[in-house]
Structure 1
Amino acid sequence: MKKLSVTAAAALMASTAAIAQVETRTVTFENEGAILSGTLYLPEERNDALLPTVVVTGAWTSVQEQMPANYAREMAERGFAAFTFDFRGWGKSGDLPNSLRFVESPEAKTSDIKAAFEFVATLPEVDVDHINGLGICASAGYMVDAVSGNPLVQRLGLVAPWLQNKEIVEAVYCGAQGVAGLIEVSHVAEAKGGEIIPAAGPEGAEGVLMPIGGYYYEADRGAIPEYDDKWNNAGWEGWLTYHPADNPERLDKPLSIVHSESAAIPQGVQTFLAGFAGDATAQWLEDVTQFDFYDNPEDVARAAETMAEHFRIGLDG
Structure 2
Amino acid sequence: MKIILLSILAALVIAVPASAQDIVTRKLAFTSGGDRMVGVLHLPADHAGRKLPGILVTGSWTTVKEQMAQNYAQELARRGYAAFTFDFRGFGESGGAPRGLESPARKVADFKAAASFLQTLPEVDALRTGVLAVCASAGYAAQAINEGVPFKAYVAVAGWFHDKASVGSIYGGDAGVARRLRAGEAARRAFESSGEVRYVKAFDYVDESAAMVGPFDYYASADRGGIPQWDNRFAVMGWSEWLNYDSVAAAKALKVPSLFVHSDNAALAGNVKAIYQAVEAPKDLVWSSEDHFAFYDEPQVVKRSTDEAVRHFAKYLTRELGPLGSAEEARVISLVSSIPLAVDLADYDLAMRAFASRITIDYTSLWGGEPQQMTPQELMTAWRGIVPGFDATRHEIADVTVEIDGDKAKASAFVDGRHYLGDRVWRPVGTYDWQLEKIDGAWKVTKMTFNLTQEIGERSLASEAMERAKRK
Output the amino acid matched with 1:221. R
- Shift in Å, 1:48: 2.9
- Shift in Å, 1:263: 1.0
Give 1:304's aligned residue: 306
Q: Structure 1: where are the runs of 5+ without partners?
A: 1-15
Count of residues in correspondence between the two structures: 297
**Offset from partner CA, 1:48-106 (integer Å, 9 cap, x none):** 3210010000001100000000000010000000000000000011342xxx2111111
- Shift in Å, 1:206: 4.3
The one of 102, 106, 112 equivalent to 1:104 is 102
Give 1:150's aligned residue: 148
Give 1:24's aligned residue: 25
Q: Which has the higher strand share?
A: 2
The one of 282, 293, 299 equivalent to 2:295 is 293
SS in 1 for 2:237: helix
Change (3 A) 1:128 1:184: same
SS in 2 for 1:167: coil
**Offset from partner CA, 1:236-275 (integer Å, 9 cap, x none):** 0111111121344531110011000011110110121222
Separation in 2, partners of 1:49, 1:18:
17
| Identity percentage of aligned residues | 37
Give 1:47's aligned residue: 48
TM-score by length of 1: 0.90
Give 1:82's aligned residue: 83
Separation in 2, partners of 1:57, 1:206:
27
Give 2:256's aligned residue: 253
Query: Contact 2:115/2:149 (CA < 8 Å) preserved in 1?
Result: no
Give 1:283's aligned residue: 286
- Shift in Å, 1:114: 0.5
Change (3 A) 1:61 1:248: closer
**Pairing of 1:86-235 with structure 2 (within 5 A):** 86-96=87-97, 100-150=98-148, 152-193=150-191, 194-201=197-204, 203-212=205-214, 213-235=216-238
Output the amino acid matched with 1:158. A
Separation in 2, partners of 1:204, 1:19:
43
Query: Contact 1:89/1:103 (CA < 8 Å) preserved in 2?
Result: yes
SS in 1 for 2:88: coil
Query: Contact 1:149/1:251 (CA < 8 Å) preserved in 2?
Result: no
SS in 1 for 2:69: helix
Change (3 A) 1:267 1:118: same
Separation in 2, partners of 1:272, 1:299:
22
Query: Contact 1:128/1:152 (CA < 8 Å) preserved in 2?
Result: no
- Shift in Å, 1:19: 4.1
Separation in 2, partners of 1:145, 1:248:
7
- Shift in Å, 1:290: 1.0
SS in 2 for 1:131: strand
Q: Structure 2: where are the runs of 5+ without partners?
A: 1-16, 192-196, 320-397, 399-472
- Shift in Å, 1:284: 0.3
Query: Contact 2:57/2:72 (CA < 8 Å) preserved in 1?
Result: yes
- Shift in Å, 1:47: 3.4
Query: Contact 2:87/2:93 (CA < 8 Å) preserved in 1?
Result: yes
TM-score by length of 2: 0.61
